[in-house]
Amino acid sequence: MSENKKVVKICCGRHCLENFSRDYIKAAEKTCCTRADRPSPKDDVIVETTGCLGFCGLGPNTLIDGKIETGLSINEFEEKLRNLMPKNKENKKERNGLESIDDLLNI
């Protein structure tokens, strides 16, 4: 992974899943034009799912470029992701891989 790539991790622990972390995964995939856990060398932001981040009562929890974020609204989360994207890049890349996060989680 290149040094200038940003990493977003989204908790998929039981409590965060109950607090709609799947919606955050879908939002990250859409905003960053990538697939969770299926990075492409062309991706500027890597989206990964992870186990519990340890703040279960505050979820859904994310780790955005090394900083834990708890209880963000979807809009706040998407704004933080947009701020990670290079300003000169259009947000139009072909997506590949899984059809949905549910495929990834085998739910």
pTM: 0.78
pLDDT at 24: 96
Domain boundaries along the sequence of the chain? 6-88
The rounded distance, in Å, linking the Cα atoms of 67 and 4 is 16
Taking only the tens place, the pLDDT of each residue in 66-94 is: 999 999 999 999 999 999 988 755 444 44
3-state secondary structure string, 41-54? CCCCEEEEEECCCC
CATH number of 6-88: 3.40.30.10
* pLDDT at residue number 5: 87
Q: Say which residue the tokens 């299926």 belong to.
A: 38
Q: Are 8 and 81 in contact (CB under 8 A)?
A: yes
| Residue that has been written with the tokens 């949905």 in this structure | 100
Q: What is the average pLDDT across 17-27?
A: 94
